[in-house]
Amino acid sequence: MTLDPSVRDAVLAAVPSLRAFAISLCGNVDRADDLVQETLLRALANIDSFEPGSNMPAWLFTILRNLFRSEYRKRRREVEDADGTYAQSLKSQPEQSGHVEFQEFRAALGKLPPDQREALILVGASGFSYEEAAEICGCAVGTIKSRVNRARARLADMLSIESMEDFGPDVATRAILSGTTSR
Amino acid sequence: MDTPSSPPASASPRAQGRLGRDVQAKIGNQLRAIYDDVVQEGVPDRFVELLKRLDKKDEKGSDS
């Protein structure tokens, strides 16, 4: 079996987005790239089950997600706090995207339950429709919608709490001291 | 595993209400910024090589 050039191109074209998704799932670039590699191996071994003309990115994302899920479950049995590990690994690479703003955002993203995080990323960043995201995650469209909503609400909550702490009492105190009553 | 250690909702004025448009936009923008940072790195050589290798290997016979 030789790889059809158009199939190979379609697979390669999906790699950048697959990596971004993988990094957002595992919070670690090296692990993410291993996951992408595993995904490509799995995909090409099963390329016959890919229907020509159907959605290649969605197919690859599904494979990657399933691989991650089975690995995650395994790791969860080995390591107690999989979520804590994720948050830590995020914090350990602050230089990935310079801005402090992004570090806070990443940390908040890392605290989301995995279900909510992946739904938010598929819809909000990867650009999949709710229907496609539902197919990738093997759940109902309504489930994706509610996960995305809960993810947004929770992020907004975490980020606003953090920014309130940042400006917190000092701003209020200064406002009172300077007699500002505009807000 | 729904709410492992989330602070009381009353801690935030936004917790109960709907999200403001500015908050939604900010979340969307940051999410895409982080994501696109990676997308813009393109396809690492590692994966181009992998596909080439697999292609050749497949000609000789699969060992998956």
Total number of domains in chain B: 1
Confidence (pLDDT) at A159: 84
Picking from A83, A174, A151, A178, the residue whose alpha carbon sits closest to that of residue B31 is A151
DSSP structure class, residue B7: P
Let me know if residue B27 belongs to a domain: yes
CATH architecture of A112-183: Orthogonal Bundle (1.10)
- CB distance A97–B34 less than 8 Å? yes
- Tens of pLDDT, residues B13-50: 444 346 777 778 889 999 999 999 999 999 999 999 99
pLDDT at B56: 76
Of A19, A53, A24, A10, residue with least CA distance to A38: A19
Instruction: Write down the pLDDT at residue A89.
Output: 56
* Average pLDDT of the residues in A108-120: 93
Nearest by CB to B12, which of A37, A121, A157? A157
- The mean of the pLDDT values for chain A is 81
Chain A contact probe: residue of B3, B19, B31 with most A CBs at under 10 A: B31
E strand or H helix at A34: helix A29-45
User: Sign (positive/negative) of CA torsion A145, A10, A72, A112?
Assistant: negative
In this prediction, residues A55-66 reach a mean pLDDT of 96
Q: Is A145 in CB contact (< 8 Å) with chain B?
A: no
Mean pLDDT of A117-124: 96
Asked if residue A20 lies in contact with residue B38, where contact means CB atoms within 8 angstroms, the answer is yes
Of B13, B32, B40, the CB nearest to A125: B32
Residue B46's nearest CA partner among A62, A16, A49 is: A16
Domain that holds residue B48: 15-58
User: According to the model, what pLDDT value does residue B13 have?
Assistant: 44
Q: Can you name the CATH fold of A1-78? A: Rna Polymerase Sigma Factor; Chain: A (1.10.1740)
Structural domain includes residue B5: no
In this predicted structure, what is the pLDDT of residue B40? 95
Q: Does A25 touch chain B (CB under 8 A)?
A: no
- Pick from B43, B47, B58: which is nearest to A3 by CB? B58
Tell me whether residue B7 is in a domain: no
Question: How far away is chain A from the Cα of B22, in angstroms, using its nearest Cα?
Answer: 10
SS3 annotation, A1-24: CCCCHHHHHHHHHHHHHHHHHHHH
- Residue B57, chain A, CB below 8 Å: the answer is no
Quote the CA–CA distance of A181 and A178 in Å, as a whole number.
9
Half-sphere exposure of A46 (CA within 13 A, CB side): 12
Q: What is the pTM of this model?
A: 0.74
Query: Could you tell me where the beta strands, DSSP code E, fall in chain A?
Result: none
- For chain A, the structural domain boundaries read 1-78, 112-183
Asked whether residue B54 is domain-assigned, the answer is: yes
Residue B55: pLDDT band with limits 50, 70, 90: confident
- Dump pLDDT digits (tens) for A135-168: 999 999 999 999 999 999 999 988 875 554 444 4
Best residue in B47, B53, B58 for a mutation probing chain A (most A CBs within 10 Å) = B47
In a domain, B1, yes or no: no
The angle subtended at Cα A36 by Cα A31 and Cα A41, nearest 5°, is 125
Residues A116, A83: Cα–Cα separation, whole Å: 13
**Confidence bin at A133 (pLDDT 50/70/90):** very high
- The partner residue sitting opposite A2, judged by closest CB among B34, B35, B58, is B58
